[in-house]
Amino acid sequence: MRAFEYHGPKSVSEAVGLLCQYGDKAKPLAGGTDVVIFMEGGKIAPENLVDLSRIPDLTEMDYDPARGYRLRRRRRFRNI
C-alpha cells in the first residue's frame, strides 16, 4: 500500500473543501472497508483519504412523530 495523507474533517463543508482541493488525488473514507481493500490490492492509490466517519451531521438520527425516524448517512446499525 502506498503512503497517503489522512484528513479528519469536523464538518461537511470542511470535507467538501478537502475533496475539492485534492480532486482525483483524494478518496472519501466512510466505512473504510472497500477503500482499504482496494488500496491493499493495488486497485486504487489515493494520495489523500478524507475520513467522513466523525462528522456529526452525517451520523445523527432524528425522530418526528408525524414522519417517524430519519436516519442520516453514516448512521451505524449498532447505534440505532
Provide the pLDDT for residue 75: 46
Q: What angle do CA 26, 49, 72 make, to 5 degrees?
A: 100
Listed residue (23, 11, 16, 5) closest to 55, CA to CA: 11
Reading the block at residue 21, the C-alpha cell is 482541493
Give me the numbers of helices (H) and strands (E) for the chain, helices first please: 2, 5
Each residue's pLDDT tens digit, 60-77: 667 778 888 766 654 444
- Collapsed DSSP state (helix, strand, coil) of residue 20: helix
pTM of the entire predicted model: 0.72
What domains can be seen in the chain, in order of their start residue? 5-74 (3.30.43.10)
Cell numbers found for residue 44: 486504487
Beta-sheet pairing, 26-29 with 48-51 = parallel
